[in-house]
Amino acid sequence: MIMRGFWIPIVLTPWEVTYMWLLGVVAVPTDILVFCLWSYHVGLIQTNLTTIESHEQYFLSWSKPNAKHIHEYDLGLINNLYEIFGRSCLIWCLPIGPTGDGLSFPKRSEQRLPLRSSDDRP
């Protein structure tokens, strides 16, 4: 197979073509899986849940389908982002831990925000 470069034509051997196809076959499912994990964690950030709390709510909804599940650590989207990544948006990409002692966390009742169930989410 001949691919045209900017000035020099590039000739690929059959092994190189096969290698490129195999990379594509591996890369596409990996991209799909990474996107699924990313979207799951975005949902966790929106509700300020850990993975374990998320699974507890899922199994609780199976045992009591009509019950309202209230999560007291959900502070709203903006406050959840501040709680997880820190107050300064400029350092969100840096691996700097959030402030606090790691043992106590703000609750919705301390923020004087109304408690909202997971059923009230759009």
Strand partners, 49: none
The reported pLDDT for the residue numbered 106 is 84
The answer, yes or no, to whether residue 29 has pLDDT greater than 70, is yes
| Sequence-distant (≥ 6) Cβ neighbours of residue 35 within 8 angstroms | none
pTM value surpassing 0.85: no
In a domain, 51, yes or no: yes
- Decide: 3 and 12 in contact? Cβ < 8 Å: yes
pLDDT digits (tens, 9 = 90+) for 50-92: 888 888 877 776 666 666 666 888 888 888 888 888 888 888 8
Band (7; pLDDT cuts 50, 70, 90): low
The pLDDT value given to residue 122: 46
80 within domain boundaries: yes
pLDDT confidence band for 113 (50 / 70 / 90)? low
Alpha helices in 64-121, H assignment, sequence order? 77-85, 108-111
Conformation bin of residue 114: beta by default, left when phi > 0, alpha when psi is -120 to 50? beta
How much is the pLDDT for 27? Answer: 93
**Does any domain span residue 1?**
no
What total number of domains does the chain contain?
Answer: 1
Residue 2 placed within a domain: no
Domain assignment present for residue 35? The answer is yes
Residue 42 forms part of a structural domain: yes
Decide if 39 is inside a domain.
yes
Domain membership of residue 67 (yes or no) is: yes
User: Which residue type, as a one-letter code, is found at position 58?
Assistant: Y
Structure tokens at 46: 């929106």
